[in-house]
A and B are shown apart, each in its own frame.
Chain A
Amino acid sequence: MLDRASLDRAIQERHFERILAANGPALSRLAASYTNTLSDRDDLLQEIAVAIWQALPRFRGECSERTFAFRIAHNRGITHLTRARARAGGSIEDEEIEVHDPAPGPESDLAQRQRADRLRQAVHRLPVAYRQVIMLTLEGLGYGEISEVLGISESNVGVRLNRARQLLRDLLENRK
C-alpha cells in the first residue's frame, strides 16, 4: 500500500507532467526568445523544468497553472539573461540576441513560414520588457494573467503592449 509521502509524490509527478504537457510548446518558444543558441535553450528549458518542479509543492492554486508556469519561466529567463549579460558586461535592456533557426512550422507554405520566422526574429529584437509582454500576449494570456506573471499593473501591461506592438510593426515593416 502506498504511504502518504509516496502518494503525494505521485500526485506531484502527475501535476508536473500535466503542466509540461499543457504548456510545453509555449515554454519552448519562451526559452528560445531568451537565448541565442539551441544549447542555451536546452539549458534554460531544463532550468525552467527544475524550477517548476521545485515550486510545485508551494503551488496553492491561487493562479492558473499556466500563469504559475509562465511566471517561473520568465523569472528563469531573466536570470539567464542577467547571467549572460554579466559575462558579456552589459545590461539586459540592451541585449542583442542573434536568432537561431526556428523550428519548422506545420505549414507547407513557404511564404507563410517565412512570415512566421520574420515575426519570431522581430520579437527577439525587442527590448526585454516589451518582448515579455508581447510574447505572453501572443501565447494568448490576457492583461490580468500577464500582470500576474510579470508582477506589474494591468495598466502598465497595456502601455507596454502598445509600445511593443508599435516597435514590432516597425521592425516587420522596415526589416531593420
Chain B
Amino acid sequence: MTTDVELDVWREQWQADTAVPLNLRRNVERQSRLMKIGLVSDTIVTIVMGGGTTALALRSPGTDFVLVAIATWLFLAAAWAFVLTANRGLWTPSAIDTAAFVNLSVRRCRSVLATLWFAAGLFLCEVGFGLGWAYNHAIKGHETLLSWLLFSSLCIDVAWIFTVAFFGAIVWYQRKKRAELASLLELRREMAGPTTEAQEVQSSAWNGLFGLRAGRLRGSKKKRPI
C-alpha cells in the first residue's frame, strides 16, 4: 500500500462518520419543499374557503350561511391546529449526519400517516355537515333519505364519487408510506443496532450548534453543568 492510498483510506473512514448519503439528503430536501408547498396551499385554501364563506354569510340574509361560515372556520382551525402540531420539529434535521436524517425521515413518515387518519376523519365530518346542510335545504319530494342521497342531484353523485376516490387515494398512500416507514426503520436498525438512544444524544450536539441562532448568540452562551 502506498502512503497516499493509505491516507485516502483513512480519510474516507474518517469522513464517513457524518457523511449523509446523497439520496437520503435529497429525499429529505424534497420532503421539506413539499412541506413548504403544503403550507402555502393550506394558507390559500384557508383564505379562499374561509373568506368565501364569510363573504357569503355577510351578503346573504338569514342564518343558514352564517352556520356554513362558522363550520368552515371550525374545520379550518382544526386542520391548522393539527398541521402545526404534526409538523413541529420536522422542518430540519437535528444534525448533519446520516442518523439524524434517517430519524427525521422516520418522524416525517409517522407524521404523514397520522395526518392521513386525521384527514379521513375531518373529511367525513365535512361531508356529514355538508350533506346535512344540503338535505335541510333540499326541495322535498324524495321518499327516503337514501333516495335523496343517491338520486337527488348530479352534484351529490359527484360528491360520492369524489369521496370514494379520496378514500381510495388515502388507502393507497397509507400503504406506500407504511412500506417506506418499514424500510426506514430497518435502515435505522441496521445503522444503529441497539444504540438509537446514543444517536439521539449525539444528535443533540448539533441541536446545540445549529440551535445557536443569532438572537441567542448575542447574549450569553448556554452552558450546561457537567
Inter-chain contact B224/A49, CB cutoff 8 Å: no
User: A133 near B: Cβ within 8 Å?
Assistant: no
Q: Which residue of A lies closest to B226 (CB)?
A: A39
Q: Which of B46-54, B96-104, B145-153, B169-177 forms part of the interface with chain A?
A: B96-104
Bitwise, A121-148 to B at CB < 8 A (1) or not (0) is 0010000000000000111100000000
Give the interface residue-count category, chain A.
Answer: 35 or more
A135 CB to closest chain B CB (Å) equals 8
Bitwise, B202-226 to A at CB < 8 A (1) or not (0) is 1011101110111001000111101
Q: With A41-B205, A42-B205 as given contacts, are A103 and B217 in contact (CB-CB < 8 Å)?
A: no
Q: With A38-B205, A45-B206, A103-B97 as given contacts, are A53 and B19 in contact (CB-CB < 8 Å)?
A: no
A161 CB to closest chain B CB (Å) equals 9
Bound Cα distance from A27 to B17, whole angstroms: 12
Bound Cα distance from A159 to B108, whole angstroms: 49
Which one of B18, B190, B199, B212 lies within 8 Å of A28 (CB-CB)? B18
Q: With A31-B205, A119-B10 as given contacts, are A108 and B191 in contact (CB-CB < 8 Å)?
A: yes
Q: With A24-B206, A49-B212 as given contacts, are A116 and B224 in contact (CB-CB < 8 Å)?
A: no
Bound Cα distance from A157 to B226, whole angstroms: 35
Which one of A39, A42, A46, A115 lies within 8 Å of B13 (CB-CB)? A115
User: A165 near B: Cβ within 8 Å?
Assistant: yes
Bound Cα distance from A28 to B201, whole angstroms: 13
Q: Which residue of A lies closest to B192 (CB)?
A: A104
User: A40 near B: Cβ within 8 Å?
Assistant: yes
User: B7 near A: Cβ within 8 Å?
Assistant: yes
Chain A positions 42-91 with a Cβ under 8 Å from a chain B Cβ: 42-43, 45-50, 53-54
Inter-chain contact B14/A123, CB cutoff 8 Å: yes
Give the interface residue-count category, chain B.
Answer: 35 or more
For A12, list chain B residues within 8 Å (CB). Answer: 214
Bound Cα distance from A20 to B17, whole angstroms: 17
Q: Which residue of A lies closest to B187 (CB)?
A: A108
For B96, list chain A residues within 8 Å (CB). Answer: 21, 24-25, 28
Bound Cα distance from A165 to B4, whole angstroms: 11
Bound Cα distance from A104 to B95, whole angstroms: 13
Bound Cα distance from A140 to B10, whole angstroms: 11
Inter-chain contact B18/A50, CB cutoff 8 Å: no
User: A160 near B: Cβ within 8 Å?
Assistant: no
User: A18 near B: Cβ within 8 Å?
Assistant: no
Inter-chain contact A42/B190, CB cutoff 8 Å: no
User: B155 near A: Cβ within 8 Å?
Assistant: no
Inter-chain contact B10/A138, CB cutoff 8 Å: yes
User: B20 near A: Cβ within 8 Å?
Assistant: yes
Given contacts A16-B214, A29-B14, A38-B205, 11 further A-B contacts (CB under 8 A): A13-B214, A25-B18, A25-B97, A28-B209, A31-B205, A38-B202, A49-B217, A102-B17, A103-B17, A106-B16, A165-B7
B residues bordering A, Cβ < 8 Å?
Answer: 3, 6-7, 10-11, 13-21, 95-99, 190-192, 195, 198-199, 201-202, 204-206, 208-210, 212-214, 217, 221-224, 226
A residues bordering B, Cβ < 8 Å?
Answer: 9, 12-13, 16, 20-21, 24-25, 27-29, 31, 38-43, 45-50, 53-54, 101-108, 112-113, 115-116, 119-120, 123, 137-140, 165, 168-169
